[in-house]
Amino acid sequence: MSQLPSHITGSGKKRPAHADRTPVYALVGNPNCGKSTLFNALTGLKQKVGNYPGVTVEKKIGETYSQHGKPIKIIDLPGAYSLAARSPDEAVTRDVLLGRRSDTPQPDRILCIVDATNLERNLYLVHQILDLGRPVILVVNMMDLAESSGLQLRVDRLEQALGIPVIACEAVNGKGLVELKLAMSRSDLPLARHSWDIPVAVAPAVAELQASLTDNDGRSPLVARAEALLLLTDFDTVRVAGSTPLSARTTDILATWQKHWEGEGTDWAGTLVGSRYAAITKLCVDIVQQTGATGPTTSDKIDAIVVHPLWGWVVFGGVMTLFFLSIFTFAQGPMEWIGDQTASLANWLKATMPEGDLRSLLTDGIIGGVGTIITFLPQILILYFFIGLLENTGYMARAAFIMDRLMSRVGLNGKSFIPLLSSYACAIPGIMATRTIEDPKDRLVTILVAPLMSCSARLPVYLLMIAALLPGTTMPVLTKVGIMLLMYALGTAGAFGFAWLFKRTLLKGRPPMMIMELPPYRLPGIKDVALHMFERAGLFLRKAGTVILGISIVLWFLTTYPKHPDATAAATEQIAYSFAGRAGHAIEPVIKPLGFDWRIGIGLITSFAAREVFVSSMGVIFGAESANDDTTTLRVALQKATWPGGAPVFTTLVCFTLMVYYVFAMQCMSTVAVVKRETNGWKWPLFQIGYMTGTAWLVCFVIYQTGRALGY
């Protein structure tokens, strides 16, 4: 076997960059190190957000400019603790850095960000990245928190030791950004003076694997060395190799060495990891100085209450109540203003245009559909603002921590709660967030139950039904909050119940131990929260201007044609005679036991495209029925709707039952598409549609029939 000297070091030389080429930086770091804040600070609104092809991991590419005004591209990679990837999102980071993804060119420069309060742990990933032999800039973030914790970091000595630019930074306050951009603007960055002693027992295997990876697997020498070290760090060679299998020769070399070490009783992975940490610890001795008291930090003192077995739940309940209270109070004025403007526009068109199909399309189809859904934009903004605050302050991780005990009882751990909590905003990013879950069965269970968490698309349906719940009365705001909390509680209970069922039947398995870092509390970066909020609001408006607009126009056509033979027929008769009316009547026998009529059936059909389409559908249907009354709001129109015998359709019981239906029903084709891609087939998405829709029908049947039996 050939042998590599146990002292491995980079060349220390400078590599010239092409002046005419746009530099591409990969932004990498541990979770909770402020990576997203730095990315937003550098790129502002010059960002493109999508997904990596084939995997639902968010792909962010942004652009900033050098001191000379030249563009610099930045790829924000998912947070990772190590290149020995344990979850799909960490695998994306590893594969991009190793140049394995054809859809993402291998970055020629790397921007590493570390948490100044946890420098030694964060440097493990940096240590692995320096093995790649590419230009690296190290950003030591949260210097203010380190100082308040009594830590002094000698950044200049760290720069001397590594031989790369090291920038002290407070990304949330904008400090250090000028110095960072100056470093990023350099056309010639030095390679690191990166050296560490590989254990003698492992060094020959590293050398032989590196040679084989170069000769037989087509790896470049530096990438081959880094991959050889990963193969010896992680026992799962398939996970390390990614989608491209190792060559037979490399596999044979690895198996031979592993058999040799097993015979000697050598823990080769532990030895290799231990040697890295020994090198990092030696480096940090001279870098990190404790200057202040080492007692409990401010975060520790807050956590004594926030994660307390009793008071933690009180705080959690208070946070959720404040959240819903703010939705109903702060959004009321803007909602009324938007509603007034859309109504004024519709009335102006009715006054200026001659009666006909074109006017009906504009007023009843487009304004009645899209205008109705846009009214709920203020609540959507508040929802995402609140979730952004929870993430930025560090409370989101605490919520997962206090939920861990409850989650373990249903067969999951607290890590699954973060995707579920994210699903309150939208099930799609919630399902994306499951890629941080290591166990495949736990991840699949979380995917299957995530859509049960009441997402923002259900919010307009809940609000409309709450508004129509008690005809002729003004409902107290705390009653509205209570009903909304009940809907969210039902969805959460349903998610936990089905998780418990699946973990004991279809996907049996023991709940894993949860190991989670609790980041220090921070003042939220309002700019970052606002950027996230308006980004999601833009997506909502784009959906309103595309999907919902298209469905509203199609639905208008289906409710308008064919024309009733009697030109004097009432609007209700026209809709009943139309294509949409016929479809609604066709499914009415199935939904009538739930208290729903054929018009609600139309809304249920159209909302398979997106749940909030139900509101725009009601706006089109009942807007057309009340077209002669300019002052009629959708709430009043719903309260006036009757069955053929004259009984009201939207009674308190029906409104409540309809809300419960939307708690449990799977009515979002975008989510179905993501689940199909995440599970690599149609088996689980179809199962998800079946069990959720079946549960919705059964629960609503029990509620409505029981309510009727009790006289409601």
Q: Look up residue 409 and give its amino acid.
A: R
How do residues 146-162 score in pLDDT, each as one tens digit? 888 788 889 999 999 89
Q: Look up residue 656 and give its amino acid.
A: F
Cα–Cα distances in angstroms (integers) from residue 310 to residues 304, 313, 345, 492, 656, in the given order: 11, 6, 52, 20, 32
350 CB burial (10 A radius; 0-12, 13-18, 19+): middle
Cis peptide bond prior to 562, omega within 30° of 0: yes
Q: What is the pLDDT of residue 616?
A: 75
- Local confidence band at 467 (pLDDT 50, 70, 90 cut-offs): confident
C-alpha dihedral sign at 669, 674, 680, 683: negative
Label residues 657-692 b or e (16+ Cβ within 10 Å = b): bbbbbbbbbbbbeebbebbbbbbeeeebbeebbebb
C-alpha dihedral sign at 375, 380, 383, 389: negative
- Local confidence band at 102 (pLDDT 50, 70, 90 cut-offs): confident
How do residues 636-650 score in pLDDT, each as one tens digit? 888 888 888 889 988
- Whether pLDDT at 628 is above 50: no
- Whether pLDDT at 62 is above 80: yes
Q: What is the pLDDT of residue 101?
A: 79
Q: What is the pLDDT of residue 149?
A: 78
Q: What is the pLDDT of residue 58?
A: 63
- 640 is written with which tokens? 């006036």
Q: What is the pLDDT of residue 517?
A: 65
How do residues 679-695 score in pLDDT, each as one tens digit? 878 899 999 999 999 99
CA distance 5 to 232: 17
- 60 is written with which tokens? 């962010």
Least confident span in 88-92, 121-125, 490-494: 88-92
How do residues 385-396 score in pLDDT, each as one tens digit? 887 788 778 787
Average predicted confidence (pLDDT) for the chain: 80
Mean pLDDT, rounded, for 162-188: 90
- Whether pLDDT at 220 is above 90: no
Mean pLDDT, rounded, for 186-194: 82
- 689 is written with which tokens? 């549609």
CA angle 433/437/443 to nearest 5° reads 85
Q: What is the pLDDT of residue 515?
A: 57
Q: What is the pLDDT of residue 460?
A: 82
The candidate with the shortest Cα–Cα distance to 603, out of 644, 637, 559, is 559
Mean pLDDT, rounded, for 208-219: 89
Q: What is the pLDDT of residue 613?
A: 76
Mean pLDDT, rounded, for 60-80: 87
Strand 195-197 to 7-9 pairing: antiparallel
CA distance 444 to 498: 12
- 677 is written with which tokens? 């891609």
Q: What is the pLDDT of residue 664?
A: 94
- Whether pLDDT at 54 is above 60: no
The pTM assigned to this predicted structure is 0.64
Q: What is the pLDDT of residue 299?
A: 77
Q: Look up residue 369 and give its amino acid.
A: G
Contact between residue 199 and residue 23 where contact means Cβ atoms under 8 Å apart: no
- Local confidence band at 53 (pLDDT 50, 70, 90 cut-offs): very low
How do residues 502-556 score in pLDDT, each as one tens digit? 988 887 766 555 556 677 777 777 777 887 787 777 776 776 677 667 777 877 7
Q: Which of the given ranges, 229-238, 245-254, 431-440, 460-469, has the highest pLDDT on average? A: 245-254
- Whether pLDDT at 255 is above 60: yes
The more confidently predicted of residues 518 and 50 is 518
The candidate with the shortest Cα–Cα distance to 229, out of 2, 1, 8, is 8
Domains of the chain listed by start with CATH number: 7-197 (3.40.50.300), 317-336+377-457+474-524 (no CATH), 358-375+528-709 (no CATH)
How do residues 392-439 score in pLDDT, each as one tens digit? 787 877 877 777 777 777 777 666 777 777 677 677 767 877 876 777
- Local confidence band at 9 (pLDDT 50, 70, 90 cut-offs): very low
Contact between residue 158 and residue 138 where contact means Cβ atoms under 8 Å apart: yes
CA distance 432 to 675: 9
Least confident span in 106-115, 352-361, 693-702: 352-361
Contact between residue 106 and residue 99 where contact means Cβ atoms under 8 Å apart: yes
Q: What is the DSSP string of 250-285?
A: HHHHHHHHHHHHHHHT--HHHHHHHHHHHHHHHHHH
Mean pLDDT, rounded, for 473-478: 70
CA distance 556 to 361: 7
How do residues 293-316 score in pLDDT, each as one tens digit? 666 777 778 888 888 888 888 888
- Local confidence band at 15 (pLDDT 50, 70, 90 cut-offs): very low
Q: What is the pLDDT of residue 242?
A: 64
Contact between residue 227 and residue 307 where contact means Cβ atoms under 8 Å apart: no
181 CB burial (10 A radius; 0-12, 13-18, 19+): middle
- Report percent pLDDT > 90 for the chain: 16
Helix (H, G, I), strand (E, B) or coil at 546: helix
Residues β-bridged to residue 308? none
Q: Which of the given ranges, 176-180, 338-342, 381-385, 401-405, has the highest pLDDT on average? A: 176-180
- Whether pLDDT at 7 is above 50: no
- Whether pLDDT at 445 is above 80: yes
Q: What is the pLDDT of residue 490?
A: 92
Element (H, E) at 68: none
